[in-house]
Amino acid sequence: MQVWQQWPWWLTEMARTIVTVGIAYGLGQIVRLLVTARLARLTTRRPGDWAEVILSEVRPRIGLWSVLVGLHFAQRRWPLDAAQREDVQNVISALAIGSLTFAVAAVATRLVATHPGRDGTATQVSALTRNVIRIVVLVLGALTIVGIFKYNITPYLTALGVGGLAVALALQDPLSNLFAGIFMSASGQVRLGEYVRLDSGVEGYVLDFNWRATSIRLLSGNVAIVPNSKLAQSTVTNFHQPSRDVGVGVEVVVDYGNDLGLVERAATEVAMSVVAEVPGTLKTAVPSVRFQSFTPAGITVAVSMRSAEFADQFLIKHELIKRLHARFVREGVAFRVPPAEPAHHGPA
């Protein structure tokens, strides 16, 4: 005790601070182990599980939070006046709120990105949506920190409003794309991974929304970049809503001299074999064979089934045409190709 009292005051307070912070850090590690064990019993170990997300974001920050708690208790013994003590407490609170804000932003964006959809699978969320959520949480945290230091932000908000009007006039196109992207993401009418066709002729799978444009992967493998404002103003056909399955059909003209019963039976058997054997067909949908019209060339017959989603129809149609041709030739059915129609890229 005598040696302790002979130390300079600042060295004594530093030693006490180190001891206090060390004890707080040790208690924090114990809490971390208890929290980890508790959440580990709740988590299913899936990447999108809420307990797993919270655990992965909170665990690495407990050390910093425990150090801040130690500093909070240690500073009470420092020889500071009221103003200095308030400044120190404000700095500690600001650091704690800043760390907590980043943790909440990370948890919120990860939970939104892995939130299960109606079919139980994880819903794909665009980078734009994640960034908007992150920015909102960070802004709220920043405003809370500003409030701790009791700054009057009214003049800054006024200047920001006047300056924002000028910026909005100068950046009409970028802001138009930004808000169009936000509205498209929020509406749910076009989601990531869905197959869409625009009235401009662009069609493919939606890859992502960002602040300026939407990326669409074409069937050729290339990527089309469509400004968000153009997408919002386009007539969009979404082949994944209300369901993903798409109709697939082939039309054939058979001569009047054919036995229509034989034609129907042969076409039905071929369609059933395609449904059973070709990947991508909707197994629960029963194929149909329908005679549609009399034409100068013969009688038009349509063979229809459904594919599980848009891109599956091409292989299905390929197999259907190949097998119909082989069966009709084997059965002696006289047929021909129907008259040419304008190019059409969608399902028959």
210: CATH: 2.30.30.60
The structure tokens listed for 257 are 């001299």
What number is the average pLDDT over the span 291-310?
91
Question: What pLDDT was estimated at residue 343?
Answer: 45
Q: How confident is the model at residue 345 (pLDDT cuts 50, 70, 90)?
A: very low
Query: 34 in a domain, yes or no?
Result: yes
Number of domains in the chain: 3
Q: In a 3-state reduction of DSSP, which class is residue 178?
A: helix
pLDDT at residue 44 tops 60: no
Same-domain status, 13 and 142: yes
Final residue in a domain of this structure, among 195, 221, 238: 238
Find the Cα–Cα–Cα–Cα dihedral 333, 338, 339, 345, rounded to 10°: -150
Q: In a 3-state reduction of DSSP, which class is residue 327?
A: helix
Which residues make Cβ contacts (< 8 Å) with residue 268, sequence separation at least 6?
Answer: 287, 289
Q: In a 3-state reduction of DSSP, which class is residue 289?
A: strand
Query: Is the N-terminal amide bond of 242 cis, ω within 30° of 0?
Result: yes
Same-domain status, 228 and 251: no
What number is the average pLDDT over the span 119-126?
57
In terms of C-beta density within 10 A (0-12 exposed, 13-18 middle, 19 or more buried), how is residue 329 classed? exposed
Same-domain status, 205 and 98: no
Same-domain status, 136 and 92: yes
Which residues make Cβ contacts (< 8 Å) with residue 103, sequence separation at least 6?
Answer: 57, 58, 61
Helices (H), 7-81: 9-42, 50-58, 62-74
Q: Which of 69, 68, 37 is nearest to 55 (CA)?
A: 37
| Amino acid identity at 149 | F
Q: Which of 111, 112, 110, 35 is nearest to 66 (CA)?
A: 35
Query: 286 in a domain, yes or no?
Result: yes
pTM of the shown model: 0.57
Same-domain status, 315 and 217: no
Q: How confident is the model at residue 166 (pLDDT cuts 50, 70, 90)?
A: low
The structure tokens listed for 53 are 């997300």
Pairing of strands 236-238, 195-198: antiparallel
Strand partners, 248: 305
Residue 122 DSSP label: B
Q: What is the CATH number of the domain that holds 291?
A: 3.30.70.100
Same-domain status, 114 and 203: no
Question: What pLDDT was estimated at residue 158?
Answer: 67
Same-domain status, 140 and 226: no
Residue 218 DSSP label: -
| Amino acid identity at 145 | I
Q: Which residue has the higher pLDDT, 39 or 256?
A: 256
Same-domain status, 233 and 251: no
Which residues make Cβ contacts (< 8 Å) with residue 117, sequence separation at least 6?
Answer: 123
Lowest mean pLDDT, pick from 95-104, 206-215, 261-270, 317-326? 206-215
Assess contact for 316 and 308: CB atoms under 8 A: no
Same-domain status, 106 and 232: no
Q: How confident is the model at residue 55 (pLDDT cuts 50, 70, 90)?
A: confident
Q: Which of 77-86, 110-119, 221-230, 334-343 holds the top average pLDDT?
A: 221-230
Assess contact for 187 and 203: CB atoms under 8 A: no
Same-domain status, 137 and 92: yes
Q: How many CA atoms lie within 13 A of 181 on its CB side?
A: 28
What number is the average pLDDT over the span 155-173?
60
Which residues make Cβ contacts (< 8 Å) with residue 80, sequence separation at least 6?
Answer: 88
Which residue segment(s) compose the domain that 215 sits in?
Answer: 184-238
CA 183 to the chain's CA centroid: 14
